[in-house]
Amino acid sequence: MTNLLEIKALCVNVDGQDILHDLDLTIPNGEVHTLLGPNGSGKTTLMMTIIGYPEYRVTNGQILFDGKDITTLDITERARLGIGISQQRPPTISGVKLKQVLDFIIANARQPVPDINELARAYKIEPFLDRDINAGLSGGEIKSSELFQLLIARPRFVMMDEPDSGVDLEAINIVGQMMNEIFARHHTIRTKERRTGLIITHTGNILDYIHADKAHLILDGYIGYTGNPHILLDQIREHGYGECARCELWRCR
């Protein structure tokens, strides 16, 4: 199986501060991984660097997507290669409606797009279509709006940053459904159509709703453990992130 994403020895500096150090990460085609780590460990930084936000400066290392070095491409180019994100805290954009962005996505879609009104109803997005992006939306509604855009865009590689934060117990079912839809994880779907991605979470709770093939643990801007999500999560739940740095799972730097 080929690797869709391959990150080698990545160092990232934000605003004069080194945040990611010598980070390696590989995600094969068709797999969904999860990135676990405490607050401030560099999860969001990694996602924003992969999609290409210019304030996240790569000082060393490489990001390969589908075998191609994308380290110097801009956000648009990376998005058009098939990388999509759902942000932890996306901006509010007054004057631009969610519908306008969806229309753009549809107009530029390579694959046929299903009826968005029907989908919007199914995922309870309808009331937000004609609203300015994220304007006045609750925390949970923002997540739905983010995921809905990905559901329509169907990128080859999707990163979701804390997709369940601020989502209540009822809405989390819908969020879970959307995620499974985005990653094409339903049982009826053939393996080769499955999408690839990275789910970022500090609690790991969302993993009750979607299957992750592998987990990575990030501490202080460095990925030191990769393995079975359930084993890692059990360790974290039992000992906390503080212990992880010292536990036997953590590889020496």
Partner 1 sequence: MENSTDLRQAADIDLNQFTTVPDTHRGVLVSPDQLEPGDAEVMAGVGVHVENEDRSGTYILQDFNPLCVPVQTKGLELLPIAVALKKYDWLRKKYCFKAVNADLDKYTLQCASAADPQGYFVHVKKGVKVPFPVQACLYIAQSGIAQTIHNIVILEEDSELQLITGCASRTGVGSAAHLGISEHFIGPKARFTNTMIHSWNPDVEVRSRSGTIVDAGGTFISNYISLRPSKSIQTNPRTWLNGEGASLKYLTIILGFGGSTIDTGGDVYLNGKNSSAELAHRAVCTGGRIYQRGLLTGNTPGCRAHIDCAGMVLDAGEDGFIEAVPGLKALHPDARMSHEASIGRIAPEQVAYLQSRGMSEREAISLLIRGFLDLDIEGLSPELDARIAEIADLAGHGEGI
Binding site for Mg ion (CB under 5 A): 43-44, 88
What number of other Cβ atoms are within 10 A of residue 164's Cβ?
24
Does the footprint of partner 1 cover residue 91 (CB under 8 A)?
yes
| Distance between CA atoms of residues 153 and 189, nearest Å | 18
Residue 15, binding choice from partner 1, Mg ion, ligand ATP, none, Cβ under 5 to 8 Å by partner class: ligand ATP
Q: Are 217 and 249 in contact (CB under 8 A)?
A: yes
Smallest distance, ligand ATP to C-beta of residue 45, A? 3
Return d(Cα 89, Cα 26) in angstroms, integer. 25
Stretch that binds partner 1, among 12-20, 32-40, 94-102, 242-250 (CB under 8 A): 94-102
**How crowded is residue 135: how many other Cβ atoms within 10 Å of its Cβ?**
14
99 binds partner 1, rule: CB under 8 A: no
By CB under 8 A, residue 153 contacts partner 1: yes
Residue 150, both tokens: 């990905």
Q: Which does 96 bind (CB under 5 to 8 A by kind): partner 1, Mg ion, ligand ATP, none?
A: partner 1
Q: What gap in Å lies between CA 72 and CA 54, rounded to an integer?
A: 10
Token pair recorded at residue 63: 């990001």
CA distance 185 to 211: 8
Query: Considering only residues 60-89, where is the footprint of partner 1 by CB under 8 A?
Result: 74-76, 79-80, 84-85, 87
CB 204 within 8 A of CB 236: yes
**How far is Cα 36 from Cα 203, in angstroms, rounded to an integer?**
8
Query: Taking contact as CB under 8 A, which single stretch among the options 16-24, 33-41, 96-104, 215-223 is the one that binds partner 1?
Result: 96-104
- Residue ranges binding partner 1 (CB under 8 A): 51, 53-54, 74-76, 79-80, 84-85, 87, 90-91, 93-96, 100-101, 104-105, 108, 132-133, 149, 153
- Residue ranges binding ligand ATP (CB under 6 A): 14-15, 17, 19, 37, 39-45, 88, 202
